[in-house]
Every structure is written in structure tokens, then in C-alpha cells.
């Protein structure tokens, strides 16, 4: 006995899909949100934070312990005219960028070595993991003993703090480049440095930029610790002097400055990502 197959003919499109229980696939269109709407929502979220801050300062907290946003704003005039806020901001940015450049370069080089070769991973990964779990605040007394009270211990502390995020993200991104893509590239004659430059590095770039984003944030957070080391200038020095004098508005001013530095750094990385990763526009989920 031969098995027979029944073929259903229909002149209407979609009937075959109805018979077999399948759904006709639909292409999902990407709707780009208007820029004005995006900016408005972000602006309203920031405004909501300031409104909540003002309400808590006026109706919940002790006014001597939590100043209102308006009081903090007026205090900036005093800091600009009497405390050289611009000069202290410049000193802090200089330390942060030096630590980021030195630590980021070392972290990227070690991450590439670990991600590209098995020998590099075996020799570098464990020491970097140990460094990652070392609280850099605990290193301050050692650095003061080894390097004194100048700028050197501050820069070294920031460099160590910035190295591990870039190392981890670079090593992970290069280690997990799609094997089939590499094999296809080798079949077209790419090898060695050219393969790394034209295939591995571009495909690893999203992870590397994520590490840079984390390192930039840590370079700002590390300033609070680094500028404890006998700093006579910088936002951290202003912060600790103000906290010792119970000057709450100035403490809030310094905290807001740290936040603005971090936001500016983050926007810089976002701009670099937008320019360097244009090829991912059709790949990303949104």
C-alpha cells in the first residue's frame, strides 16, 4: 500500500499557511522615536529628581543637613569667587585623565594578549583577577609609604582602578569573536595582524568601548579616594575640607560636580560608540 499525499490548491494567498497551521511571517518595522520626544522624557526625568530633592529638603529633612537645590546653586557663586572652583576642577580632571590613559592602555594591552592567545590568558588572567578583587582604598597607606605624598601615588591608584574594567571587557570580547567568522576570513587569506585589525578588533569594539565606559566612571569615583592623599587642590580636597567644616552646601556642590564629570565622560564614550559602530545599526535590537 502506497502512502498518498494530499495537495490542497487554492487561489487565495495565505490558504496554504492556514491549512498547515503556520502563520504568515510579518516583517517588523523599526519606528524611530522623535528626537524631541527623547530629549523631553530625559529632561523631565532630571526635573523629577530635582523636584523630589526640593520637596524632601523643604518638608522632610533637617534644613541644616539637606540644602535645597536653589541653595546649592547659589553656593556655586561663592565657590567660583573664593575657592577657585575652576582651578580645582582642572586639577581633578588632569589626574582623572592621566589615570585613565595609563590604566586604560595597560588594561587594553593585557586584555588583547589574554583574549588572543592561550598563553597570554594563562599568564595574565589570574594576576588581573586578583587585582580586580583588591580594594584600591586599602592600597592608599602602601602607596603613601612607597611613593610619598605627591602626585605619583594618586596617578598610580587611578591607573590601577581603571585598568581592570578595560582588561576584562577587552579579553572577553576578543576571546568570544565568532569562530565561523574567523574561519571564513582565514579562507579568504586573512591572517596575523591583518586578521586582528580587520576582523577581530572591529567585532570586539562594542565590548572594548563598554570597558572604556566603566573605566571612565571609575576614574571619576577613584578621585574621591586618590585626593585623600594629602591633596591641596582638586574637587576631593574641597569635599573633605567642607565635610570637616560641616559645610553641607559645598559638599553637595562637589558631589554634583563629580556627577557632571561622569555624565560628560559617558557622553564622550557614547559619541565615540555612535561614530565607530555605525555598522551595527542594522544589527542592534533597537
* Domains of the chain in sequence order: 70-280 (1.10.3720.10)
Q: How far apart are CA 58 and CA 204, in angstroms?
A: 49
Confidence of residue 167 (pLDDT cuts 50, 70, 90): very high
List, in order, residues 6 or more apart from 177 with CB less than 8 Å away.
199, 200, 203, 204
| Helix, strand, or coil (residue 178) | coil
State the pTM of this model.
0.76
**Cell, residue 154:** 594618586
pLDDT value at 144 more than 70? yes
Predicted pLDDT of residue 9: 46
Predicted confidence band of residue 283 (pLDDT cuts 50, 70, 90) = low
Dihedral angle computed from the Cα positions of residues 205, 113, 211 and 285, in that order, rounded to the nearest 10 degrees: 40
Quick: pLDDT tens for 49-83.
888 988 888 888 777 788 888 888 888 888 888 87
CB 223 within 8 A of CB 96: yes
Which pLDDT score is estimated for 284? 57
157's grid cell? 591608584
pLDDT digits (tens, 9 = 90+) for 3-47: 444 444 444 554 444 455 566 666 566 666 677 888 888 888 888
Give pLDDT, residue 17: 47
Amino acid at each position: 500500500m502506497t502512502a498518498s499525499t494530499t495537495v490542497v490548491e487554492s487561489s487565495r494567498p495565505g490558504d496554504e499557511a492556514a491549512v498547515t497551521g503556520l502563520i504568515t511571517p510579518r516583517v517588523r518595522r523599526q519606528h524611530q522615536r522623535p528626537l524631541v520626544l527623547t530629549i523631553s522624557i530625559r529632561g523631565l526625568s532630571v526635573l523629577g529628581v530635582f523636584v523630589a530633592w526640593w520637596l524632601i529638603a523643604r518638608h522632610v529633612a533637617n534644613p541644616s543637613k539637606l540644602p535645597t537645590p536653589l541653595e546649592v546653586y547659589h553656593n556655586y557663586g561663592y565657590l567660583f569667587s573664593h575657592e577657585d572652583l575652576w582651578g580645582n576642577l582642572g586639577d581633578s580632571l588632569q589626574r582623572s585623565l592621566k589615570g585613565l590613559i595609563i590604566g586604560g592602555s595597560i588594561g587594553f594591552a593585557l586584555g588583547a594578549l589574554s583574549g588572543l592567545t592561550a598563553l597570554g590568558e594563562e599568564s595574565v588572567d589570574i594576576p588581573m583577577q586578583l587585582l580586580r578583587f583588591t580594594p584600591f582604598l586599602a592600597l592608599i597607606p602602601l602607596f603613601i609609604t612607597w611613593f610619598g605624598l605627591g602626585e605619583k601615588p594618586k596617578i598610580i591608584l587611578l591607573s590601577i582602578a581603571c585598568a581592570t574594567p578595560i582588561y576584562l571587557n577587552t579579553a572577553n570580547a576578543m576571546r568570544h569573536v565568532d569562530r565561523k567568522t574567523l574561519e571564513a576570513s582565514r579562507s579568504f587569506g586573512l591572517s596575523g595582524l591583518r586578521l586582528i585589525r580587520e576582523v577581530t578588533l572591529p567585532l570586539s569594539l562594542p565590548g572594548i568601548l563598554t570597558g572604556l565606559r566603566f573605566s571612565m566612571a571609575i576614574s571619576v569615583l577613584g578621585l574621591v579616594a586618590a585626593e585623600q592623599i594629602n591633596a591641596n587642590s582638586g574637587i576631593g580636597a574641597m569635599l573633605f575640607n567642607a565635610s570637616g567644616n560641616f559645610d553641607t552646601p559645598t559638599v553637595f556642590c562637589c558631589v554634583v560636580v563629580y556627577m557632571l564629570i561622569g555624565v560628560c565622560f559617558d557622553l564622550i564614550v557614547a559619541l565615540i560608540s555612535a561614530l565607530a559602530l555605525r555598522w551595527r545599526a542594522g544589527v542592534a535590537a533597537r
